[in-house]
């Protein structure tokens, strides 16, 4: 390790002559090695877990979702064509197709986001801040697989510049950066992140309907040559969508109109639970999200209070909506009441709630700081988010909006928690002082110290309260 360190330090550029190159070097150096300097004094504990290494834990927790999301991009594409319907059928084709779609999204996200951070760091004359490590890992997972790359680049630039650098950089932002990128696209380019066909890669809207791309690009032809050499199935030339039995609609899109019965007519509950459905790249697989949740809570990177508070808030809101919904549903029942009637546990496995409460709401910078505030913060995110999901017909999902809303009010939540603690401690101190004064008075009245000098009896010679 020392040899590697000595080799790397040979390339360190001069800070005064090349501030940008030195900033770039410093970013990679601190990624490879823990900080060599620590605070001095006997009261401090030396710890190599700096901010960069702390955030790597979150990135590691997302890796299974990246693998699954990459495969699911290809799986949904081939389902739309009526090919390789089995989970393992054409596995190599699905994985390669997914990689070809997700790698450009990942690269553009990091080139734009890190590029801006490098420029700001060089301009300010300090090291590159590590905040984009997690944001850069989250953004690709919350996007549709066919998001136009130029729109993605604009959204990332908007989120990093106006959401973070304008507030002073990492640790100073008040909103979650990854969600700012998504909310920018949602309001500026809504057709690229809403509807049915955007969640399945390779689907194009044509005048006469929806069709799959008729031919794959050069990369697929290259892989066809390789796969054919092994005798495996190849991509071919694409084709039209399956006329029957396919829909690009997500379970939430169906549930908002037809309730759970409509969802079951298209997807079985097992597919929804495992995540083999259309949707954002990394938000659909419940088991893998739960593994990531356990991982970051065990590593103490995420606070369990936010997550558990969110689960409680979700169940409370879900049961409340169930109570409002009609007892009996008929074909003529409005879709909003059918949506209300869905059991909270079924609501929980649809959409991106578990992903949002695990990886978005627990952001330590933009969430509440106090232990009590974290419970309130997580509860309100889930409660408000589910209300938005069910009662907003234009947007059958609510976590993006509810998290950004609670990001805004997190300092206010902490303020009232602090004030409540101050008042409670003041009352406790006043009660203790009152109890002490009452005890002293009682002892002065009831307890006497006597001397045997008076033949008639005993004479009090002191006030016990003075001792």
Predicted confidence (pLDDT) per residue in 194-210, tens digit: 777 788 888 776 554 56
Cα–Cα separations (whole angstroms), residue 387 to 74, 265, 344 = 33, 25, 12
DSSP string, 321-389: HHHHS-SS--TTS-HHHHHHTS-HHHHHHSTTHHHIIIIITT-TTTS--SHHHHHHHHHHHHHHHHHHH
d(CA 84, CA 246): 14
pLDDT of the residue at 69: 96
Alpha carbon distance, N-terminus to C-terminus of the chain: 67
pLDDT of the residue at 117: 83
d(CA 177, CA 131): 9
CB 152: neighbour CB atoms within 10 A? Answer: 22
Cα–Cα separations (whole angstroms), residue 241 to 96, 248, 249, 268 = 20, 10, 14, 21
Q: Enumerate the β-bridge partners of residue 209.
A: 206
d(CA 415, CA 417): 5
d(CA 28, CA 25): 5
Cα–Cα separations (whole angstroms), residue 36 to 32, 137, 405 = 12, 27, 40
Nearest CA among 236, 255, 246 for reference residue 210: 246
pLDDT of the residue at 430: 87
pLDDT of the residue at 295: 93
Contact between 403 and 179 under an 8 Å Cβ cutoff? The reply is yes
pLDDT of the residue at 328: 86
| Residues in the chain, pLDDT under 50 | 45, 48-49, 208, 450-451, 454-455, 458, 464-467
E strands along 6-142, which residues?
none
d(CA 288, CA 3): 39
pLDDT (tens digit per residue) in 320-355: 999 999 888 888 888 899 999 999 999 999 889 999
pLDDT of the residue at 446: 65
pTM for the whole structure: 0.82
Cα–Cα separations (whole angstroms), residue 375 to 364, 369, 382 = 14, 10, 11
Contact between 129 and 160 under an 8 Å Cβ cutoff? The reply is no
The upper half-sphere exposure of residue 157, i.e. CA atoms within 13 Å in the direction of its Cβ, equals 11
């Amino acid at each position: 390790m020392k040899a590697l360190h000595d080799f790397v330090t040979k390339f360190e550029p001069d800070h005064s002559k090349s501030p940008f190159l030195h900033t770039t070097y410093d970013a990679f150096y601190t990624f490879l090695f823990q900080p060599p300097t620590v605070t001095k004094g006997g009261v401090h504990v030396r710890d190599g877990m700096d901010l960069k290494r702390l955030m790597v834990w979150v990135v590691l927790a997302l890796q299974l979702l990246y693998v699954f999301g990459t495969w699911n991009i290809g799986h949904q594409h081939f389902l739309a064509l009526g090919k390789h319907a089995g989970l393992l059928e054409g596995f190599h084709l699905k994985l390669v197709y997914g990689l070809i779609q997700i790698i450009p999204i990942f690269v553009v996200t990091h080139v734009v986001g890190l590029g801006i951070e490098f420029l700001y760091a060089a301009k300010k004359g300090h090291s590159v801040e590590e905040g984009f490590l997690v944001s850069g890992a989250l953004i690709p997972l919350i996007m549709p697989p066919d998001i136009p790359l130029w729109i993605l680049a604009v959204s990332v630039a908007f989120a990093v510049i106006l959401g973070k650098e304008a507030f002073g950089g990492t640790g100073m932002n008040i909103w979650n950066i990854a969600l700012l990128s998504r909310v920018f696209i949602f309001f500026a380019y809504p057709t690229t992140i809403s509807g049915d066909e955007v969640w399945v890669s390779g689907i194009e809207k044509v005048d006469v309907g929806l069709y799959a791309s008729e031919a794959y690009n050069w990369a697929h032809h290259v892989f066809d040559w390789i796969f054919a050499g092994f005798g495996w199935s190849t991509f071919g030339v694409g084709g039209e969508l399956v006329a029957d039995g396919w829909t690009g609609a997500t379970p939430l899109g169906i549930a908002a109109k037809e309730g759970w019965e409509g969802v079951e007519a298209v997807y079985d509950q097992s597919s929804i639970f495992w995540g083999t459905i259309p949707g954002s790249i990394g938000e659909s697989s419940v088991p893998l999200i739960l593994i990531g949740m356990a991982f970051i809570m065990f590593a103490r990177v995420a606070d369990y209070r936010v997550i558990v508070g969110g689960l409680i808030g979700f169940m409370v809101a879900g049961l409340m909506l169930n109570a409002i919904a009609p007892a009996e549903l008929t074909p003529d029942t409005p879709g909003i009441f059918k949506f209300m009637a869905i059991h909270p546990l079924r609501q929980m496995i649809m959409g991106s709630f578990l992903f949002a409460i695990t990886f978005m709401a627990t952001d330590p910078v933009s969430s509440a700081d106090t232990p009590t505030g974290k419970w309130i913060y997580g509860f309100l995110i889930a409660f408000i988010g589910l209300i938005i999901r069910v009662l907003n017909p234009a947007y059958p999902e609510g976590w993006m909006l509810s998290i950004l809303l609670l990001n805004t009010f997190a300092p206010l939540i902490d303020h009232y928690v602090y004030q409540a603690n101050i008042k409670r401690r003041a009352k406790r101190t006043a009660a203790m002082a009152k109890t002490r004064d009452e005890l002293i008075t009682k002892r002065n009245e009831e307890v006497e110290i006597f001397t045997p000098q008076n033949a008639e009896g005993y004479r009090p010679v002191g006030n016990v309260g003075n001792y």
